[in-house]
Amino acid sequence: MGINGVTDSITFVMDRASSEFKKLTNATLKTKVGITVEEFGALKTLCVRGEINQQELANTLLRERSSTKKLVDSCIRKNMVEKQDSPTNKKSALLVITSLGRDVVAEAETILKAINQKLYRDISSDELAVVRKVCDKLLNHK
């Protein structure tokens, strides 16, 4: 039984869909490669962007610096990321993905592709494009 103004709200439905996706992907990624979807985002960013500092990572992932620090610390404990001294700024450390981190990203990409194919099998590419466009507008609305 739904609650008028809550369960019929687009915000509620988007939150539930996001939560379900996150729960499924986190459970699968943790079981198969030992990371969360958030850790995957950080690792993938370091694969693509190369050596960057923690603030740049936070900006790229649209996260607060404090939550990014916890994320980075977790990746460091798992030997997937290392910190290196910045050659241009003594106060800043650069984050570098390790070879283990790269291997995990490659495996996780295959896992996420399979999850997405399963989740999106009944959704057309046009419908997905609309969802993406709406989400982008919502994220850029300030």
pLDDT in tens, 98-128: 999 999 999 999 999 999 999 999 999 999 9
The predicted pLDDT at position 9 comes to 81
**DSSP per-residue codes, 83-94:** EEE-SS-TT-EE
The confidence band for 87, taking pLDDT boundaries of 50, 70 and 90, is confident
Burial class (CB in 10 A: 0-12, 13-18, 19+), 55: exposed
The confidence band for 81, taking pLDDT boundaries of 50, 70 and 90, is very high
Q: What is the mean pLDDT of the chain?
A: 92
The confidence band for 24, taking pLDDT boundaries of 50, 70 and 90, is very high
pLDDT digits (tens, 9 = 90+) for 33-78: 999 999 999 999 999 999 999 999 999 998 998 999 999 999 999 9
Q: What size, in residues, is the chain?
A: 142
Q: What is d(CA 63, CA 23) in angstroms, rounded to the nearest whole number?
A: 19
More confident residue, 120 or 2: 120
Q: Enter the pTM of the model.
A: 0.85
CB neighbour list of residue 24: distance below 8 Å, 6 or more residues apart: 115, 119
pLDDT digits (tens, 9 = 90+) for 7-22: 678 888 889 999 999 9
Q: Is residue 90 scored above 90 in pLDDT?
A: no
The predicted pLDDT at position 117 comes to 93
